[in-house]
């Protein structure tokens, strides 16, 4: 085996182990939150001794940031894919629904995302720069909504308000759905999200 092939194999193994650690960490964070998690618990969940994961991440905060970053990348791909080939009004609705659907199907990602949504947790070890980067990545997941709103006819300022409206409405419905409080009203969250996005699109067009 050539040196290049060996290096490629080492990189593949390292990436696989990193993925295992991130998957395990998500489960631990979902169960205990960032404050209650520990490197030891993450290592145990991943099937490694604690010292082994320090070769990949120096702290649980760095693991949290990496897992959240990868979640936001997947979310952005989902919202960008949803709008391909559609008209502006259809893209607005599709992007909002794709954002909702991603978190509806991935509740662990939603739990992590609420660190950015509410700022309720104060993770030690995350720099202000990293926090800015993660918040910018979150806003990027909603960029298809903003772009579509402008194409329909919204001003730049109105498009920002509409994007925030989409964010807030989806977050509220997801919270109701995942806590099953929506059942109090005998309603389904997704049709409500679709209805809201259609109403937003109509409001811009008039």
Q: What is the mean pLDDT of each run of 10 residues along the chain (206 residues)?
A: 65 87 89 86 94 90 90 97 95 98 93 64 62 91 97 97 97 94 96 98 88
Q: Residue 121's pLDDT is what?
A: 45
Query: Can you list the pairs that 120-126 forms with residues at least 24 positions away whose Cβ atoms lie under 8 Å?
Result: 121/33, 121/34, 121/35, 123/34, 123/61, 123/64, 123/65, 124/61, 125/59, 125/60, 125/61, 125/62, 126/61, 126/64, 126/65
Q: Residue 127's pLDDT is what?
A: 72
CB 89 within 8 Å of CB 200: no
Q: Residue 143's pLDDT is what?
A: 98
Helix (H) or strand (E) holding 166: helix 156-178
């Amino acid at each position: 085996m050539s040196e290049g092939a060996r290096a490629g194999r080492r990189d593949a193994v390292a990436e696989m182990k990193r993925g295992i650690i991130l998957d395990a960490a998500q489960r631990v964070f979902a169960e205990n939150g960032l404050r209650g998690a520990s490197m030891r618990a993450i290592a145990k969940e991943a099937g490694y001794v604690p010292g082994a994961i320090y070769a990949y991440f120096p702290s649980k905060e760095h693991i949290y940031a990496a897992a959240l970053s990868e979640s936001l990348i997947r979310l952005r791909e989902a919202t960008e894919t949803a709008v391909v080939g559609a008209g502006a009004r259809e893209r607005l609705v599709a992007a909002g629904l794709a954002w909702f659907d991603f978190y509806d199907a991935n509740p662990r990602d939603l739990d992590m995302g609420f660190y950015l949504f509410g700022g309720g947790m104060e993770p030690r070890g995350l720099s202000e720069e990293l926090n800015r980067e993660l918040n910018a990545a979150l806003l990027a997941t909603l960029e298809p909504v903003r772009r579509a709103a402008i194409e329909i006819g919204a001003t730049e300022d109105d498009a920002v308000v509409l994007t925030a409206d989409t964010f807030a409405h989806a977050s509220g419905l997801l919270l109701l759905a995942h806590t099953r409080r929506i059942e109090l009203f005998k309603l389904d969250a997704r049709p409500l999200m679709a209805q809201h996005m259609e109403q937003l699109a109509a409001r811009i067009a008039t």
